[in-house]
Amino acid sequence: MILKFRFVVLVLLVITGVAFSATSRLEGFAVPFPIQDATIFDGKLYLATSSGIRTVSSSGESSLYTAEDGLEFSSFVSVCASAQALYVVSRQGAIARLPKGGNSFQVINRSFLEQGIQALPSLSVIEGKIMVVGLENKVAFFDLENEEFLISLSKIGDSRLDVQSPAALAIHGDSLLVASGKVVYVRKMNWENLKADRHLADPVTWEKIETKNLVGSIAIDSKGNIKTREQRGTFVWSDKLEIAASEDTSTIILDGNKLKLSDLYKNDSSRVQWVLPFEDDFFFVGSNYIAFGSAYKVKDFSLWQAYQLGPVYELTALPNGGIIASGNNSMLSYIDAKGNFFSEPMPSNEIGWSNAFDGPNHLMKTLSVLPQGQLYYGLWGLGGFIYENYKSSNLRSSVTATSGSCVENFLENYFVSASAIPAPDSSGFLISYWGKEAYGLAFINLYGDVFCAPAVGSSSFAGAMVARKSEGSSNWEIYVSSGKTAALNGTGNIDKFLLEEPSRSGFSLRVIEHKTIATPENGFVLDMAFDGEGRLWGVTYSNIGFMDSNDSLRVPHRISQFAASAFSAIAIDPQGNPWVASNGQGVFRLQKNKNSVDTLFATRLKTRDGLLSENVYDIALDSLTGSIWFAQDLGITRLERNDLRSAVKFMTDSASNEVTVYPNPFKPSKHKKIIFDYVSENATISIYNAGGKLVQFFNGKDLEGGRAEWDAKDNSGRMVAPGLYHYLVKKGSKVKKGRLLIVY
């Protein structure tokens, strides 16, 4: 069967702000679970998830609303609907609205953002023009008509909600029911004019009904009696128990009968949290399950997902565009430049070994690729493996704790391959490995032969590594982070080695020179990168630094809008801007002030801009397609920008693409911009009308990434007249001329 959708965030997000222009596009890839809440609206199932608001139709077609669609946030905990609109609540307590028949959300309230109060899953209900929202220490009343919170109660009756959070909400006619602990509080409400209710916070006005057990859900029977149960989920009671579903039980009730359909159970436990009637059938939804059908047969929609990695801790860019990502679940995913996924389990699944905890805990940097198609991948404690064609099914060779190679085990039969990078001439891989007295280096050629330089480090614990050819010689210049302990926030330095190129030394690994480099506050460097000028940058747990003339890594004099954080990775884009990832603060892009690396200003990319999460472990820059990828605890986010693409070869004799101008003819009613692509950043673009008058000119920053966009406006900001125009793209002696037709 051909499936019509993938459970992957495939929506392009427009990012606004000074640094993230309208030409930026953000794309998230995440497993669509766990589901936090579900409801039916406008003929579809709507789901609140950690990666946006997901829709599913009865035929299985799906779409995802994310930041581009007006949500601003990535993680949602609640969905509920009126006849006119759908309302969703983010984990941070922001409320967004989608009108019936609409295709874009609008955030209508952000009152709780500054307070840092989180909304609770599946805890919102609507009556008339009032929505009641359950937060971790409040129950809040939102006026849908005026789009404002009328009041929030930190105490219901005699129950303090900061001590016992609200657990269930229900509306029955003119009454609101709030469960907290083993108590249900009931109050008659003036839903039409709640603003005038001056006694809403008065404990005396709330009736208190005590139960024997904690209350997880509430129902009202046909006689108006309150029914409760401990489990959360769907709970409907009329003359008898009509519908009951919870993942905390082993029984699902539908139309008063126990469902025996095995598809809805796993290990004798219910997979279903919500049962939602739809036409003549039902949606059965759990935190990790979606199915549609009847009491006798269902279609399982939860299997329809292309993205399977879950949390991701390491990425590396592929030479021909796209990336390889390593997930905590012992899988690799190959993501091409178009966002297509090809996931497969690693052989480690067969031996019960994985990087599930050690990968993110040690910020492993052992994914490395060569242009020839080889992939090196390290398994913590077990060693490293080399695969052909970037596929883990094509094992070429291995360097393991028991392989008998020259590498030293850190413990008995325990080999830690700390980092791996391509050799400067792409003739193989360079790896660092932990040692008993001092860490060592190894070179693995294309045939899988291993050559070692044992115990050369200044400590036992090696970390991140970068390498390049030494200026003016064939020797290799290698920088390795050296830690006094294995702790990410520990102390350390950088070891700089000068190695003789192995092919010149009989493929031995000979150290010509070794020196140590100081780091900011003697911190252990977690990641390093060279900028376009050959300058080394690095991040420790709490600092960023660059190599100065004294061969030490020092912090820039000033970085505006930048605070110390749990930094985790760094990458340098083609414009020379460092991108710094953090665990808890998202991503920072640093830009030079007046071309000085000593004074920078930062722009932060966070969940409100479209990141899946602000816990970011690694960065991979794909300068071929102009994409930067972020590994996160919820999945992967890709940011596309013109200035992330390398345009060094454009308009040169070695260029693989000619200057391209499209669409031509250009129709403003149909097209947004005229694109000039594969242009050198050092070129100029001149556009003339039929009379030879210059109407627009591009140069400098207009051409970052080798791409310029023209909105068919002249240099005074007015739309040009329809007709024939001429363009001239020039870089030195390289010239591209052409005609451009604009049709209204």
- Average pLDDT rounded to a whole number, residues 423-449: 94
pLDDT in the model for residue 360: 84
Structural Rg of the chain based on CA atoms: 30
pLDDT number for residue 662: 95
Predicted local distance difference test score (pLDDT) of residue 329:
74
- Compute the distance between CA of residue 413 and CA of residue 409 in angstroms, rounded to an integer: 6
Query: Would you state the pLDDT for residue 335?
Result: 84
| Position 16 pLDDT exceeds 70 | no
pLDDT by residue (tens digit) across 99-133?
999 999 999 999 998 788 999 999 999 999 999 99
**pTM for the structure as a whole:** 0.78
Please give the domain boundaries of the chain with CATH numbers for all domains.
Answer: 660-742 (2.60.40.1930)
Angle at 414 between CA 409 and CA 417, to 5 degrees: 70
**Is the pLDDT assigned to residue 43 strictly greater than 50?**
yes
Contact predicate 376/431, CB 8 Å: yes
pLDDT at residue 5 in the model? 29
- pLDDT attached to residue 470: 93
Note the pLDDT tens digit of each residue in 341-368.
Answer: 776 665 554 445 667 778 888 999 999 9
SS3 call for 246: coil
Res 15: pLDDT? 34
Average of pLDDT values for 450-473? Answer: 95
- Is residue 689 within 8 Å of residue 720, measured between CB atoms? yes
At residue 22, does pLDDT exceed 50?
A: no
Mean pLDDT of the chain: 90
Give the other-Cβ count within 10 Å of 380's Cβ: 22
Question: Is the N-terminal amide bond of 277 cis, ω within 30° of 0?
Answer: no
Distance (Å, rounded) from C-alpha 32 to C-alpha 50? 7
Percent of the chain with pLDDT over 70: 94
Instruction: State yes or no: pLDDT of 486 exceeds 60.
Output: yes
Would you state the pLDDT for residue 398?
Answer: 84
First to last CA, the chain: 44
Tens digits of residue pLDDT in 212-225 = 999 999 999 999 99
Predicted local confidence at residue 4, as pLDDT? 29
Over the stretch 284-332, which tens digit does the pLDDT of each residue have? 999 999 999 999 999 999 865 567 778 899 999 999 899 999 888 777 8
pLDDT at 1 over 50: no
Q: How far is CA 176 from CA 42, 52, 131, 217, 238, in A?
A: 26, 29, 11, 13, 18
pLDDT tens digits along 520-538: 999 999 999 999 999 999 9
